Amino acid sequence: MKEDLLKYLVCPDCRTPLALSSVLKTEGEEIMEGSLGCPRCSVSFPVRGGVPRILAGNEYRLKEETKNRFAFSWKKFSDIYEDPKDFLDWIHPKTRDFFKDRVVLDAGCGSGQHAVFASEFGAREVVAFDLSPAVDVAFRHSRTKDNVHVVQADMYRLPFKSDYDFLYCIGVLQHLPDTKEGFRRLRSLLKPGGWMSVWVYGYEGAWFIRRIVDPARKFVMSRLPLPAILSLSFLLTAILYFLAKVVYGPLSRFRPAKHLSRRLPLGDYLSYMSAFNFTYLFNCVFDQLIAPITQYFKEEEVRGWFENAGLKDIGLTRRNNISWRATGRNPG
Ligand SMILES: C[S@@+](CC[C@H](N)C(=O)[O-])C[C@H]1O[C@@H](n2cnc3c(N)ncnc32)[C@H](O)[C@@H]1O
């Protein structure tokens, strides 16, 4: 943790700025071991492995499973990203240039690679947080970036000031028990004029996932140990990868047959994924199968979160026919 991060941190309960209470080990600019405290409530939060862990309180059903399963996933798939193509597609219509000089929050950062991209696109500072020990991977990925900070924190108990020009939350809200509440809490961190972008699983167009994949996740995968799910995901990925490369990809690129690829199950998605490598698809399949909580949202629900939160200039687009990406601005 760089000392600079303190300017963004508050006590998740009383919102008093947190202070450093002890520094036990440093490496260059990074405080590797120590603690932070709230001068008002006298609670203390450890800094371990270079990351502040601001976690206590707010237990919910399946929270521990969510934490452990995503930690396993990110440790297994820590180095899958090579370029920001998918990141930019998730936050479309925002572009690289949009990051210039903005203070950015990556909510539910997973491996932290998006925070690194944000920094490379010219963000002034990036704060990335996640519930799970994936933050250790995020810390490792972002260590060389002076303006990226990583925190272990819970969406329902955010230890941040309302300081953000741009906040994005990719693939996280669908794994919360109360999505509206998670959205509301995130939205409260926007500066006047600040933008928020989210990407979530869609209800529309995803019948194959909802009817076939999701029941398997709920009734079979939730009972299996993670290494067994990993093996099953490998087999499933091998089939999907073959179909993507040999059937969907070529069909979608061959103009007269393009409409045919779109009519096949997961047509747009597998055509899009035909451009990615095996490991990337493997990670997506595994994540889909391990999450203890997964929800699918209709267009009007997603729009409703933005409208009810008073956001303006709302833009909502369908992605690969099975998910929604949306953005909106805090009018202040
Ligand atoms: C599918 S991953 C997406 C990670 C990253 N945004 C990306 O696109 O690569 C979902 C992430 O949400 C995190 N998560 C789930 N519940 C959370 C919560 N209550 N607070 C913060 N993060 C949470 C998980 O730990 C996991 O890393």
DSSP string, 218-283: HHTGGGS-HHHHHHHHHHHHHHHHHHIIIIIHHHHHSGGGHHHHHHSTTHHHHHHHTTS-HHHHHH
Per-residue confidence (pLDDT) for residue 59, from 0 to 100: 84
Q: Given strand 312-319, what is the order of strands in its sheet?
A: 19-27, 30-37, 44-48, 51-54, 148-153, 125-130, 103-107, 164-170, 190-201, 323-329, 312-319
CATH (residue range 55-202+298-329): 3.40.50.150
Distance, in Å, from the CA atom of 61 to the CA atom of 116, rounded to the nearest integer, reads: 32
Using the mean position of ligand 1's atoms as its centre, give its distance from the Cα of residue 200 in Å.
12
* Any atom of ligand 1 within 6 Å of the Cβ of 173: no
Q: Cβ distance 10 to 2 under 8 Å? A: no
Using the mean position of ligand 1's atoms as its centre, give its distance from the Cα of residue 154 in Å.
10
Residue 83's SS3 state is: coil
Out of 175, 201, 217, mutate this one to test ligand 1's pocket (max ligand atoms within 8 Å of CB): namely 175
Using the mean position of ligand 1's atoms as its centre, give its distance from the Cα of residue 324 in Å.
17
Q: What is the mean pLDDT of residues 266-274?
A: 91
* Any atom of ligand 1 within 6 Å of the Cβ of 70: yes
* Any atom of ligand 1 within 6 Å of the Cβ of 110: yes
Q: Is the pLDDT of residue 81 over 80?
A: no
For residue 169, which atom of ligand 1 is closest to its CA? 6
Q: What is the mean pLDDT of residues 296-310?
A: 98
Q: Is the pLDDT of residue 258 over 80?
A: no
199-211 core/surface letters (b: 16 or more CB in 10 A; e: else): bbbbbebbeebbe
Per-residue confidence (pLDDT) for residue 279, from 0 to 100: 92
Q: What is the mean pLDDT of residues 273-289?
A: 93
Per-residue confidence (pLDDT) for residue 254, from 0 to 100: 86
Distance, in Å, from the CA atom of 138 to the CA atom of 113, rounded to the nearest integer, reads: 7
Distance, in Å, from the CA atom of 118 to the CA atom of 81, rounded to the nearest integer, reads: 14
Q: What is the mean pLDDT of residues 46-61?
A: 91
For residue 113, which atom of ligand 1 is closest to its CA? 9
Q: Cβ distance 164 to 103 under 8 Å? A: yes
Q: Is the pLDDT of residue 255 over 70?
A: yes
Per-residue confidence (pLDDT) for residue 80, from 0 to 100: 67
Half-sphere exposure of 315 (CA within 13 A, CB side): 11
The residues, ordered by sequence, that sit 6+ positions from 199 with a Cβ below 8 Å of its Cβ are: 90, 91, 169, 170, 171, 319, 323, 324, 325, 326
Q: What residue owns the CA closest to ligand 1's atom 25?
A: 132
44-48, 110-114, 194-198, 221-225 — which is least confidently predicted?
Answer: 221-225
Q: What is the mean pLDDT of residues 6-35?
A: 97
Q: Is the pLDDT of residue 56 over 80?
A: no
Per-residue confidence (pLDDT) for residue 222, from 0 to 100: 87
Enter the tokens of residue 302. Answer: 């997603």
| pLDDT band with cut points at 50, 70 and 90 for residue 33 | very high
Q: Is the pLDDT of residue 82 over 80?
A: no
What mean pLDDT, rounded, does the chain reach? 94
Beta strand pairing status for 30-37 and 19-27?
antiparallel
Q: Is the pLDDT of residue 187 over 70?
A: yes
Higher pLDDT, 206 or 328: 328
Q: What is the mean pLDDT of residues 119-141?
A: 97
Out of 63, 130, 170, 294, mutate this one to test ligand 1's pocket (max ligand atoms within 8 Å of CB): namely 130
Q: What are the structural domain ranges in the chain? A: 1-54, 55-202+298-329, 207-290
Using the mean position of ligand 1's atoms as its centre, give its distance from the Cα of residue 105 in Å.
13
67-76, 80-89, 311-320 — which is least confidently predicted?
Answer: 80-89
Q: How far is CA 112 from the centre of its chain?
A: 9
**Rounded to 5 degrees, what are φ and ψ at 128?**
-120, 135
Half-sphere exposure of 23 (CA within 13 A, CB side): 11
Using the mean position of ligand 1's atoms as its centre, give its distance from the Cα of residue 293 in Å.
11
For the chain, percent of residues with pLDDT exceeding 90: 85
Q: What is the mean pLDDT of residues 284-288?
A: 93
Q: Which residue has the tokens 């099975």?
A: 322
Higher pLDDT, 235 or 258: 235
Q: Is the pLDDT of residue 107 over 80?
A: yes
Distance, in Å, from the CA atom of 260 to the CA atom of 257, rounded to the nearest integer, reads: 5
Using the mean position of ligand 1's atoms as its centre, give its distance from the Cα of residue 253 in Å.
33
Q: Which residue has the tokens 């690969």?
A: 320
* Any atom of ligand 1 within 6 Å of the Cβ of 131: yes
